[in-house]
Amino acid sequence: MTSRLKSYKRKRLGLATVIAFCALCFLIGFYSSALLSQNVPGVRPRLRMLEMMKNGEVEEEEASSMPHGVTGDESVGSIPFQVLSWKPRALYFPNFATAEQCQAIIERAKVNLKPSALALRQGETAESTQGTRTSSGTFVSASEESTGALEFVEKKIARATMIPRTHGEVVWFSTPHPI
């Protein structure tokens, strides 16, 4: 029996042959799956919620709300947006806040605007650095703003970003010219 095994010589496949065979199998599988899946009845891609709302195709069961937790929302919502850039990430939210809400927040911020300060180095005085900073700014929290406009905007930001308000920061308002 050992003599039989010695006489059998196995042919070795080269690396190029193996790679070509794998590529051929991949291409056959790829194109055959594409051909077979073209005529599947009843299968259609799901539309995103925003697209469905634009087209008016929102089905009753999809639009109905689910039971929610303490921190959840009572109803299904949609905040329309446009991606302006991925790097750096910039999004545009049309009609995110009304003009009245924006004006109320601006008026509240103007009350506390102060010229920006500098960290003085050793030997520097406030007089020698006067005019270096030309901006003014202030922090405003939603609890300080009496109209509720800033709280509304913070809640909407939390819904859009899916980050709780408790993880946010106090809003910094800045103007490029001194007050």
User: Hey, how many other C-beta atoms are within 10 angstroms of the C-beta on 66?
Assistant: 8
> Dihedral sign, CA of 138, 140, 144, 147?
positive
Q: How far apart are CA 90 and CA 101, in angstroms?
A: 22
> Dihedral sign, CA of 79, 84, 90, 92?
negative
Higher pLDDT, 26 or 112: 26
Q: Mean pLDDT, to the nearest integer, of 15-22?
A: 91
Q: What amino acid is encoded at 159 in this protein?
A: R
User: Hey, how many other C-beta atoms are within 10 angstroms of the C-beta on 33?
Assistant: 10
Given a cut of 60, is residue 14 above it in pLDDT?
yes
pLDDT for the residue numbered 28: 92
Higher pLDDT, 38 or 142: 142
pLDDT for the residue numbered 38: 66
Given a cut of 70, is residue 68 above it in pLDDT?
yes
Given a cut of 80, is residue 1 above it in pLDDT?
no
Q: What amino acid is encoded at 7 in this protein?
A: S
Higher pLDDT, 35 or 136: 136
Q: What is the pTM of this model?
A: 0.53
pLDDT for the residue numbered 6: 61
Q: Where are the domains of the chain?
A: 80-175
Nearest CA to 71 out of 162, 173, 175 is that of: 162
68 contacts: CB under 8 Å, gap ≥ 6: 74
Query: Could you report the per-residue pLDDT of 89-133, keeping only the tens digit for each?
Result: 898 999 899 999 999 988 888 888 887 777 777 877 767 666 666
pLDDT for the residue numbered 100: 94
Q: How far apart are CA 47 and CA 55, in angstroms?
A: 10
